Protein backbone atom coordinates (compact mmCIF):
# COMPACT_ATOMS: atom_id res chain seq x y z
CA UNK A 1 0.00 0.00 0.00
CA UNK A 2 1.47 3.33 -1.04
CA UNK A 3 0.88 6.42 1.01
CA UNK A 4 1.35 9.75 -0.71
CA UNK A 5 3.85 12.23 0.68
CA UNK A 6 1.27 14.87 1.71
CA UNK A 7 -0.78 12.25 3.51
CA UNK A 8 2.34 11.07 5.30
CA UNK A 9 3.21 14.60 6.38
CA UNK A 10 -0.27 15.32 7.69
CA UNK A 11 -0.30 12.01 9.54
CA UNK A 12 3.03 12.68 11.23
CA UNK A 13 1.93 16.19 12.08
CA UNK A 14 -1.28 15.02 13.74
CA UNK A 15 0.42 12.18 15.60
CA UNK A 16 3.20 14.47 16.80
CA UNK A 17 0.72 17.06 18.02
CA UNK A 18 -1.18 14.54 20.10
CA UNK A 19 1.95 12.83 21.33
CA UNK A 20 3.06 16.25 22.54
CA UNK A 21 -0.35 16.75 24.16
CA UNK A 22 0.22 13.55 26.11
CA UNK A 23 3.82 14.37 26.96
CA UNK A 24 3.83 18.08 27.87
CA UNK A 25 2.23 17.67 31.33
CA UNK A 26 4.60 14.81 32.08
CA UNK A 27 7.64 16.74 30.90
CA UNK A 28 6.38 19.61 33.04
CA UNK A 29 6.55 17.31 36.05
CA UNK A 30 10.08 16.21 35.22
CA UNK A 31 11.21 19.82 34.79
CA UNK A 32 9.53 20.89 38.03
CA UNK A 33 11.16 18.00 39.84
CA UNK A 34 14.68 19.04 38.86
CA UNK A 35 14.12 22.75 39.53
CA UNK A 36 16.08 23.73 42.65
CA UNK A 37 13.61 23.86 45.49
CA UNK A 38 14.63 27.31 46.72
CA UNK A 39 13.73 28.98 43.43
CA UNK A 40 10.54 27.13 42.71
CA UNK A 41 8.07 29.93 43.19
CA UNK A 42 6.32 28.69 40.08
CA UNK A 43 6.86 26.88 36.84
CA UNK A 44 10.07 27.84 35.08
CA UNK A 45 12.77 26.34 32.95
CA UNK A 46 15.58 25.74 35.46
CA UNK A 47 19.09 27.01 34.76
CA UNK A 48 20.65 24.08 36.53
CA UNK A 49 19.49 20.56 37.15
CA UNK A 50 19.14 19.65 40.78
CA UNK A 51 18.34 16.15 41.95
CA UNK A 52 18.09 17.31 45.55
CA UNK A 53 14.29 17.23 45.43
CA UNK A 54 14.35 13.48 44.94
CA UNK A 55 16.58 13.00 47.95
CA UNK A 56 14.49 15.32 50.06
CA UNK A 57 11.17 13.80 48.97
CA UNK A 58 12.55 10.33 49.59
CA UNK A 59 13.68 11.19 53.09
CA UNK A 60 10.85 13.43 54.21
CA UNK A 61 8.14 11.31 52.64
CA UNK A 62 9.13 7.90 54.02
CA UNK A 63 9.02 6.64 50.45
CA UNK A 64 11.34 3.73 51.17
CA UNK A 65 8.68 2.40 53.52
CA UNK A 66 5.81 3.15 51.10
CA UNK A 67 7.55 1.44 48.19
CA UNK A 68 8.36 -1.59 50.31
CA UNK A 69 4.75 -1.82 51.38
CA UNK A 70 3.60 -1.53 47.74
CA UNK A 71 6.02 -4.21 46.63
CA UNK A 72 4.82 -6.57 49.35
CA UNK A 73 1.19 -6.09 48.38
CA UNK A 74 1.84 -6.39 44.63
CA UNK A 75 3.87 -9.58 44.97
CA UNK A 76 1.29 -11.22 47.23
CA UNK A 77 -1.66 -10.21 45.05
CA UNK A 78 0.04 -11.33 41.84
CA UNK A 79 1.18 -14.69 43.19
CA UNK A 80 -2.15 -15.64 44.79
CA UNK A 81 -4.18 -14.36 41.85
CA UNK A 82 -2.04 -16.16 39.28
CA UNK A 83 -2.23 -19.54 40.98
CA UNK A 84 -5.97 -19.33 41.57
CA UNK A 85 -6.68 -17.92 38.09
CA UNK A 86 -4.77 -20.68 36.34
CA UNK A 87 -6.64 -23.33 38.32
CA UNK A 88 -10.08 -21.82 37.88
CA UNK A 89 -9.48 -20.71 34.29
CA UNK A 90 -8.53 -24.28 33.42
CA UNK A 91 -11.66 -25.67 35.07
CA UNK A 92 -13.95 -23.20 33.29
CA UNK A 93 -12.31 -23.83 29.94
CA UNK A 94 -11.73 -27.57 30.07
CA UNK A 95 -13.75 -29.34 32.74
CA UNK A 96 -17.49 -29.90 32.91
CA UNK A 97 -19.17 -29.55 36.26
CA UNK A 98 -22.51 -28.64 37.72
CA UNK A 99 -23.16 -24.91 38.03
CA UNK A 100 -20.05 -23.85 36.14
CA UNK A 101 -21.92 -21.14 34.25
CA UNK A 102 -23.41 -19.60 37.38
CA UNK A 103 -20.11 -19.70 39.25
CA UNK A 104 -18.34 -18.14 36.29
CA UNK A 105 -20.91 -15.36 36.17
CA UNK A 106 -20.56 -14.68 39.90
CA UNK A 107 -16.79 -14.39 39.65
CA UNK A 108 -17.08 -12.25 36.53
CA UNK A 109 -19.27 -9.80 38.42
CA UNK A 110 -16.03 -8.55 39.94
CA UNK A 111 -15.16 -7.06 36.54
CA UNK A 112 -18.30 -4.96 36.49
CA UNK A 113 -18.71 -3.91 40.11
CA UNK A 114 -17.06 -0.60 40.99
CA UNK A 115 -15.16 -0.58 44.29
CA UNK A 116 -17.83 1.75 45.71
CA UNK A 117 -20.31 -1.13 45.52
CA UNK A 118 -18.63 -3.14 48.25
CA UNK A 119 -16.00 -1.03 49.99
CA UNK A 120 -18.20 0.36 52.78
CA UNK A 121 -19.47 -2.94 54.31
CA UNK A 122 -16.14 -4.58 53.46
CA UNK A 123 -14.40 -2.10 55.73
CA UNK A 124 -16.75 -2.82 58.62
CA UNK A 125 -16.54 -6.61 58.02
CA UNK A 126 -12.76 -6.57 58.04
CA UNK A 127 -12.74 -4.34 61.09
CA UNK A 128 -14.92 -6.84 62.95
CA UNK A 129 -12.44 -9.52 61.89
CA UNK A 130 -9.65 -7.29 63.28
CA UNK A 131 -7.69 -7.26 60.05
CA UNK A 132 -8.04 -3.63 58.99
CA UNK A 133 -4.68 -1.90 59.38
CA UNK A 134 -2.84 -5.02 58.26
CA UNK A 135 -1.43 -6.35 55.01
CA UNK A 136 -4.38 -8.73 54.82
CA UNK A 137 -6.80 -5.86 54.36
CA UNK A 138 -4.71 -4.60 51.44
CA UNK A 139 -4.05 -7.96 49.82
CA UNK A 140 -7.25 -10.03 50.12
CA UNK A 141 -9.76 -7.57 48.58
CA UNK A 142 -7.40 -6.82 45.72
CA UNK A 143 -6.95 -10.55 45.06
CA UNK A 144 -10.74 -10.83 44.81
CA UNK A 145 -10.85 -7.95 42.33
CA UNK A 146 -7.92 -9.22 40.27
CA UNK A 147 -9.32 -12.75 40.12
CA UNK A 148 -12.26 -11.61 38.02
CA UNK A 149 -9.92 -10.41 35.31
CA UNK A 150 -7.39 -13.21 35.80
CA UNK A 151 -9.88 -16.05 35.49
CA UNK A 152 -11.52 -14.49 32.49
CA UNK A 153 -8.12 -14.02 30.86
CA UNK A 154 -6.84 -17.54 31.60
CA UNK A 155 -10.09 -19.18 30.53
CA UNK A 156 -9.90 -17.46 27.14
CA UNK A 157 -6.28 -18.51 26.83
CA UNK A 158 -6.94 -22.15 27.74
CA UNK A 159 -9.95 -22.43 25.43
CA UNK A 160 -7.68 -21.87 22.45
CA UNK A 161 -5.32 -24.64 23.56
CA UNK A 162 -5.34 -27.55 21.05
CA UNK A 163 -7.62 -30.28 22.27
CA UNK A 164 -5.60 -33.15 20.77
CA UNK A 165 -2.62 -32.42 23.00
CA UNK A 166 -4.76 -32.56 26.12
CA UNK A 167 -6.51 -35.75 25.06
CA UNK A 168 -3.16 -37.35 24.29
CA UNK A 169 -1.93 -36.53 27.77
CA UNK A 170 -5.13 -37.98 29.24
CA UNK A 171 -4.77 -41.18 27.27
CA UNK A 172 -1.27 -41.46 28.67
CA UNK A 173 -2.90 -41.47 32.08
CA UNK A 174 -1.93 -37.97 33.22
CA UNK A 175 -4.24 -36.50 35.85
CA UNK A 176 -5.98 -33.17 35.18
CA UNK A 177 -3.65 -31.33 37.51
CA UNK A 178 -0.56 -32.81 35.89
CA UNK A 179 -1.90 -32.07 32.44
CA UNK A 180 -2.44 -28.49 33.51
CA UNK A 181 0.98 -27.83 35.03
CA UNK A 182 3.11 -29.84 32.63
CA UNK A 183 1.29 -29.64 29.31
CA UNK A 184 -0.85 -26.51 29.31
CA UNK A 185 0.90 -23.95 31.51
CA UNK A 186 4.40 -23.89 29.94
CA UNK A 187 3.27 -22.83 26.44
CA UNK A 188 0.82 -20.35 28.02
CA UNK A 189 3.64 -18.54 29.84
CA UNK A 190 3.53 -15.38 27.65
CA UNK A 191 -0.15 -14.88 28.32
CA UNK A 192 0.32 -15.53 32.04
CA UNK A 193 3.11 -12.96 31.94
CA UNK A 194 0.81 -10.34 30.43
CA UNK A 195 -1.79 -11.04 33.09
CA UNK A 196 0.82 -10.62 35.85
CA UNK A 197 1.96 -7.31 34.35
CA UNK A 198 -1.54 -5.88 34.22
CA UNK A 199 -2.42 -7.02 37.73
CA UNK A 200 0.85 -5.59 39.03
CA UNK A 201 0.04 -2.26 37.44
CA UNK A 202 -3.51 -2.09 38.76
CA UNK A 203 -2.43 -3.13 42.24
CA UNK A 204 0.50 -0.72 42.30
CA UNK A 205 -1.74 2.17 41.23
CA UNK A 206 -4.72 1.32 43.48
CA UNK A 207 -5.74 4.14 45.77
CA UNK A 208 -9.20 3.66 47.30
CA UNK A 209 -8.64 0.31 49.03
CA UNK A 210 -5.45 1.38 50.84
CA UNK A 211 -7.06 4.72 51.66
CA UNK A 212 -9.97 3.04 53.38
CA UNK A 213 -8.26 0.02 54.89
CA UNK A 214 -5.11 1.32 56.59
CA UNK A 215 -4.16 4.21 58.82
CA UNK A 216 -0.75 3.01 60.00
CA UNK A 217 2.06 4.90 58.28
CA UNK A 218 4.22 1.81 57.73
CA UNK A 219 1.43 0.08 55.80
CA UNK A 220 0.77 2.94 53.40
CA UNK A 221 1.30 2.02 49.77
CA UNK A 222 3.06 4.40 47.40
CA UNK A 223 -0.01 6.22 45.96
CA UNK A 224 -1.49 6.61 49.43
CA UNK A 225 1.86 7.88 50.66
CA UNK A 226 1.89 10.45 47.87
CA UNK A 227 -1.62 11.63 48.75
CA UNK A 228 -0.55 11.97 52.37
CA UNK A 229 2.65 13.75 51.37
CA UNK A 230 0.60 16.11 49.22
CA UNK A 231 -1.57 16.90 52.22
CA UNK A 232 1.51 18.00 54.14
CA UNK A 233 3.43 19.80 51.42
CA UNK A 234 0.48 21.14 49.49
CA UNK A 235 2.28 23.82 47.52
CA UNK A 236 5.82 22.51 47.36
CA UNK A 237 5.36 21.39 43.78
CA UNK A 238 9.00 20.53 43.22
CA UNK A 239 8.94 18.01 46.06
CA UNK A 240 5.56 16.68 44.95
CA UNK A 241 6.76 16.24 41.39
CA UNK A 242 9.84 14.35 42.55
CA UNK A 243 7.69 12.12 44.76
CA UNK A 244 5.26 11.48 41.89
CA UNK A 245 8.10 10.43 39.62
CA UNK A 246 9.45 8.03 42.24
CA UNK A 247 6.03 6.36 42.43
CA UNK A 248 5.19 6.26 38.73
CA UNK A 249 8.69 5.17 37.65
CA UNK A 250 8.55 1.40 38.28
CA UNK A 251 5.42 0.88 36.16
CA UNK A 252 6.43 3.38 33.48
CA UNK A 253 9.82 1.67 33.08
CA UNK A 254 8.13 -1.73 32.77
CA UNK A 255 5.75 -0.19 30.26
CA UNK A 256 8.52 1.16 28.04
CA UNK A 257 10.09 -2.27 27.81
CA UNK A 258 6.88 -4.25 27.42
CA UNK A 259 4.48 -1.75 25.84
CA UNK A 260 3.01 -4.25 23.39
CA UNK A 261 1.90 -6.54 26.20
CA UNK A 262 0.44 -3.67 28.19
CA UNK A 263 -1.52 -2.21 25.28
CA UNK A 264 -2.79 -5.45 23.82
CA UNK A 265 -3.64 -6.75 27.28
CA UNK A 266 -5.52 -3.66 28.40
CA UNK A 267 -7.43 -3.30 25.16
CA UNK A 268 -7.85 -7.00 24.35
CA UNK A 269 -8.80 -8.07 27.85
CA UNK A 270 -11.65 -5.62 27.93
CA UNK A 271 -12.81 -5.77 24.34
CA UNK A 272 -13.36 -9.52 24.48
CA UNK A 273 -15.34 -9.26 27.69
CA distance 87 to 151: 8
CA distance 94 to 100: 11
For the CB of residue 172, give the shortest distance to another protein in the complex, in Å: 13
CA distance 112 to 265: 17
For the CB of residue 227, give the shortest distance to another protein in the complex, in Å: 6
Nearer CB in complex with another protein: 110/186: 110
- With CA atoms as reference, report the closest residue to 206 among 235, 236, 226: 226
For the CB of residue 193, give the shortest distance to another protein in the complex, in Å: 16
CA distance 208 to 199: 16
Nearer CB in complex with another protein: 64/129: 129
Nearer CB in complex with another protein: 54/92: 92
For the CB of residue 27, give the shortest distance to another protein in the complex, in Å: 9
The helix, strand and coil proportions of the chain, stated in percent and rounded to the nearest 5, come to: 80, 0, 20
Tally Cβ neighbours within 10 Å of residue 104: 16
For the CB of residue 131, give the shortest distance to another protein in the complex, in Å: 12
The answer to whether 182 and 174 are in contact (CB under 8 A) is yes
Nearer CB in complex with another protein: 5/189: 5
Nearer CB in complex with another protein: 32/188: 32
Amino acid sequence: MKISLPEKLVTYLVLTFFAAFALVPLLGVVITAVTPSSTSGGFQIPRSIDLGNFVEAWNRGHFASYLLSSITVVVAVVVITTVLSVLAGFAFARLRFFGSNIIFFVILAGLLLPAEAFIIPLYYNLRSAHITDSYWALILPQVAQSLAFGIFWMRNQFMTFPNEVIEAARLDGASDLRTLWQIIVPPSAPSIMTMCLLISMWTWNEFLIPLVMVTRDDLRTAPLGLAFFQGQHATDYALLAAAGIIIAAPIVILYFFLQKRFISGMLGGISSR
